[in-house]
Structures are given as C-alpha cells and as structure tokens.
C-alpha cells in the first residue's frame, strides 16, 4: 500500500468513522480501539439502526465509552434507516420513516451536545415509487430546516451529503451541485447559515465528477470531508485516486476541518489499515 509522504498532511486533522472501521468490535469498544491506533477523534453513523430514540442508558454508555477513551466525537448522522444497507436516509420518505427522523432530531442534537460534537449529518433519503419527487423535496426541506435549527441550538452545523448513483440509484443527491442546491435552500429558509456540504471524495469520484474542480468550487461551503479510495472503497493506496494530492488541494483552498476515514479495512483488522498515514498525522 502506498504511504503518504512524511509531512504531506501536517495541518490536516483525521478522524475515524467507527461505523465502517473497527466494526469487528462491539460499538462500545471501538473508541478505545481508535485511540490505541493513535486517533483522538471519531465519527459515527446513527448507531442504533432499529430505533431513532434509544434508551437513555444506551446514550450514556456510548458517551462514557467516548470519554473514557479520550476520543472526541466530531461527526454524527441523524437517524437514516438501516446503514449500511438500502435505506440511504429517512427525512424525505413520507410516513413512518420521516416520522422517525423527526423523533430523532432532538435526541441526536442533545447527545451531540453532551459530547461536544459540532457536526450533524442528514442523509436526504431515497426516491419512493408512486410519490411525486416534488412532494418528497418539500418534506425534505421542512425536516432539514427543523434539523438545522436543532443543530444551531447546540452550536453545531448541519451537513448535506452527496452519495453515488451506482451504489445508491434511488438517492437524488448524486452530484456536488445537487447537494449545494439543498444547502442553499436550507440556509435561505432558516437564515442561520449553518448548513454545509459534506464533501465525500469517494462518492464524488464514483459519480465521475472532477474532484479537483469540486474542491475549487465548494471548499468554502464544505463543513466536513470523508475519504476512501476508488475502486473498492478501501484505504488510501488500495485504489487509483490521488488522495494525497486532493487533500493538498483542500488545504490550499482553505479547508481546515476534519477529514473522516470512511473506508473498508479489507481482509485485515481495522487497526492494521492505517499504515498509509504517518503516525504524526493521527
């Protein structure tokens, strides 16, 4: 595996997504495992895929695991259905799923506040057969406005993410401009300005977008970055993306936020999948 050059990422901050890495361990053991690998920051998809409103004891246990490990939670998804899986979000899906998203908004925001998490990600949701896309978009805006206000209440930003069409064919936000359009609509509706773009390099590359152009155009609108190599969604160096170059372009464009490692470790323990990253950059 190709290794980033020493000093290549001196000013960049990397966190580990504990919903795709260290999944060989129970949830409450993952923060300590990330810390043992040298990381002080982590992020999570909504951990309780069966419920948007887990018992307070479960929330408290996760908070304790994060604190005991000395890890900062820097990103958290709102409830988004079954991830990994086919759902790809709930907030634009009429009926029970959007109800579950709404029930989750304050739960997720309040939990984020208890651990100092400053970024909440809201996956848009798939198109549904028999439902007018305009109806879904109206519902999405209503729910995103509520989520943005809840995020603002706890001092956080709201992230809007582009996914990729090959893996999420029913998800409507499959280009950077599509996500930016939603960001703009939410900010216009709330007047808060706390909706930001989640720039996922893997998803953008899977869509065939010019990632360098996206960085140049939208780095100043970006609230979080996630990376994986392509093809395969593996660690940097397992595919063909020039990730070291792209991260350098992000820095040059003025992005200084967190970069989430959201890749599959392959057929080895997660702790062994970070050899591409110099220890000093963790």
When pLDDT is averaged across residues 240-263 and rounded to a whole number, the result is 95
When pLDDT is averaged across residues 111-132 and rounded to a whole number, the result is 97
Task: Give 6-17 pLDDT, tens digit per residue.
Answer: 556 657 899 999
Helix extents (H) in 24-132: 30-36, 56-69, 96-115
| Residue 8: per-residue pLDDT | 61
Give the pair of three-digit tokens for residue 147.
Answer: 């989520």
Provide the CB-side half-sphere exposure for 168 (13 A, CA): 25
Crossing angle of the two packed helices 211-218 and 243-252, in degrees rounded to 10: 20
Residues belonging to the active site: 161, 262
Task: Give 219-247 pLDDT, tens digit per residue.
Answer: 999 999 999 999 999 999 999 999 999 99
Domain extent listing, the chain: 13-266
Which residues, in sequence order, are CB contacts of 259 under 8 Å at separation 6+?
Answer: 12, 13, 14, 15, 225, 226, 227, 247, 250
Residue 83 pLDDT > 90: no
| pTM recorded for the entire structure | 0.96
| Residue 11: per-residue pLDDT | 72
CA neighbor of 257 nearest in space, from 67, 6, 74, 18: 74
CA neighbor of 201 nearest in space, from 167, 168, 241: 241
Could you give the CA distance from residue 42 to residue 31 in angstroms, rounded to a whole number? Answer: 7
Task: Give 31-57 pLDDT, tens digit per residue.
Answer: 999 999 999 999 999 999 999 999 999
Please identify, in words, the CATH class of the domain defined by 13-266: alpha beta
pLDDT band for position 1 (cuts 50, 70, 90): low
């Amino acid at each position: 595996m190709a290794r980033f050059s020493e000093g290549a990422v001196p000013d960049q901050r990397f966190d580990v997504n504990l919903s795709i890495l260290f999944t060989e361990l129970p949830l409450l053991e993952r923060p300590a495992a990330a810390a043992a690998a040298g990381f002080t920051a982590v992020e999570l998809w909504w951990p309780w895929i069966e419920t948007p409103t887990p018992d307070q004891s479960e929330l408290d246990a996760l908070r304790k695991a994060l604190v005991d490990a000395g890890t900062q939670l820097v990103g958290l998804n709102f409830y988004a259905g079954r991830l990994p899986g086919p759902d790809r979000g709930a907030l634009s899906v009429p009926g029970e799923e959007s109800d579950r998203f709404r029930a989750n908004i304050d739960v997720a925001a309040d939990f984020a506040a208890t651990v100092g998490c400053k970024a909440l990600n809201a996956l848009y949701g798939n198109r549904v057969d028999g439902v007018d896309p305009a109806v879904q978009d109206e519902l999405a805006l209503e729910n995103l406005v509520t989520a943005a206000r809840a995020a603002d209440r706890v001092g956080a930003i709201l992230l809007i993410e582009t996914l990729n069409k090959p893996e999420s064919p029913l998800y409507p936000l499959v280009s950077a401009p599509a996500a930016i359009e939603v960001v703009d609509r939410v900010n216009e509706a709330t007047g808060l300005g706390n909706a930001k773009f989640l720039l996922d390099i893997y998803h953008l590359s899977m869509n065939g977008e010019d990632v360098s152009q996206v960085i140049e155009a939208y780095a100043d609108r970006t609230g979080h970055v996630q990376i994986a190599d392509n093809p395969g969604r593996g660690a940097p160096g397992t595919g063909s993306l020039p990730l070291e170059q792209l991260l350098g372009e992000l820095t040059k464009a003025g992005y200084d936020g967190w970069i989430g490692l959201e890749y599959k470790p392959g057929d080895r323990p997660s702790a062994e999948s970070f050899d591409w990253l110099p220890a000093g950059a963790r």
